Chain A
Amino acid sequence: MENYSHKKFTGALKRKRSQDEESDDDVVFVMEQPGQRTPEQPQSKRPSFFRPWLDESQPEEKQPQPPKKIATTTSTPASVRQMDATYHPNMVRSHKRRQRSPQEQLRRDRNTLASLRHRRSQQQQQQLIEQQYLSSRIQHEANLEQQIRLSLYYVRFLQQTMATMEPLAPTHHQQVPRFQTTTTTQHP
């Protein structure tokens, strides 16, 4: 485990990151240390979800709040509308705004959107599996009920009736039902 190295800290990105601020400074605990806010982040500017298709309108309900699931009511492109529905506010990082070149910012934006899409598709996959599980379980329990009814019907009625009714021909006696039972009589 000591040898674990994430690509974030190796390779081509290492040079770029060393040029930027130290990563420690980015971690601003906005929620936990209100008395130590950095001057660059005024009180009113709360961390919010990244939604580049919105202009300046960052609606209040998207800011980190106690409610776990934040539903959006603003207009978003249909393709990403569903993405906003179930993100936990703790997912929002509270880093200082970095100065990035337009190219770099574009790259960051694309990456962010890609990760949002991926997370959403993962969520959907899990939901699908959950739904399949539930419907399979319901179906299985319905099968069990049918098995109970059929077995009661067989044991309580059919077997009894078979035993009490007069047989048509001797050949019927040799037929052994696949329900293994210890019946009362076996005619020779």
Chain B
Amino acid sequence: MERSHHLYLPKLSYAPMGHVYGAPYSEHPTTGHSKPEQIEEMVAQQLHHLKMHYADEEQRYVDQMILENPIVVERRVAPPPPAQPASDPSPSTSSGHRGGVARSSADSKDAQRQRAESCRKSRYNNKIKKARLRFRHKFVSGQLQKSAEMLDTMRSVIAQAERQLVERGLPRSVLEQMRRSHGLDVAMQQ
């Protein structure tokens, strides 16, 4: 039976990542005082996992929002029919030398239509970009708030545990040293 000393994470979507927090403990069950380098390596590894997780969640959220709020760009005229002999999208049609006024006006019409299509596509893509940015911003704001709250909770619990240890006679210097080795701010909360 595995001993899982994991943190309870109620608010974030990090519940599936709970094993990440507990992983180093289960890997080194008897270490009391690890070297700071090992700790840094563990921190870097877990941070990378959490960042990847965040990126996935963000992408999923944005895609979901775009699906729920589809972007529409209207047309003024009916879309061009697909079977058109002159509607060659390659650059060769728009370059130089054509004989006859009738042909040139047809070409200019084609070019005009092509430009209108490009313009429309560009407008659509820009709208999509703007919407994606809006949703990304919304997502990160929510996540930031949650992580800040979680941090406050964790700090208060840790402060309580530290107080208990000090009451039981643990020297503060030991706490300070352990905080330092974990890369934490040495100043205690009270």
- A: residues with CB less than 8 A from B are 1-2, 4-6, 24, 27, 29, 32-36, 126, 129-130, 132-133, 136-137, 139-141, 143-162, 165-168, 172, 175, 177-184
Contact = CB atoms under 8 A, between A and B. Distances in A.
Interface residues of B, number: 69
* B contact face: mostly helix, strand, loop, or mixed: helix
A155 B5 contact: yes
Interface centre among B78, B151, B169 (most CB of A within 10 A): B151
Interface string B145-165: 001101101110110111011
Contacts of A4: 74-76
A107 B91 CA distance: 37
Contact of A168 (B148, B154, B161, B167): B167
Contact of B5 (A27, A36, A145, A181): A181
Contact of A145 (B47, B97, B111, B148): B47
B42 interface: yes
Interface in B45-68: 46-47, 50-51, 54
A29 B8 contact: no
B96 A34 contact: yes
A151 B165 CA distance: 17
Contact of A158 (B74, B158, B167): B158
